[in-house]
Amino acid sequence: MWRGKPTEGQNVLAVPAKKAIREGAKLVVIDSRETEFTRYAAKWLRPKPGFPEPLLVAGISERFLRVP
């Protein structure tokens, strides 16, 4: 989950996300602010404000989307 508060503005996303978490899915939250979903996160990445987003996306892609 990248910068957002799904329970406030996008409940259509929050409900299935919470269900998936209850069923064992791992959640990675990328947000400098604490939100409701940071409590459920397996990993909470807190970039400093102004951190270049393309660099963050590249790092995430390298770490989590690596194809063996």
Instruction: Report if residue 1 sits inside a domain.
Output: no
Interval 29-55: pLDDT, tens: 888 888 888 888 898 888 888 777 777
Instruction: Report if residue 59 sits inside a domain.
Output: yes
Instruction: Report if residue 50 sits inside a domain.
Output: yes
Interval 7-17: pLDDT, tens: 555 567 788 88
Instruction: Report if residue 39 sits inside a domain.
Output: yes
Which residue would you say has higher pLDDT here, 22 or 5?
22
Q: Read off the pLDDT band of 23 (50, 70, 90).
A: very high
Kindly report the pTM of this predicted structure.
Answer: 0.61
Domain that holds residue 41: 6-64
Contacts of 18 (CB under 8 A, 6+ apart): 40
- Looking at the 3D structure of the chain, how many domains does it have? 1
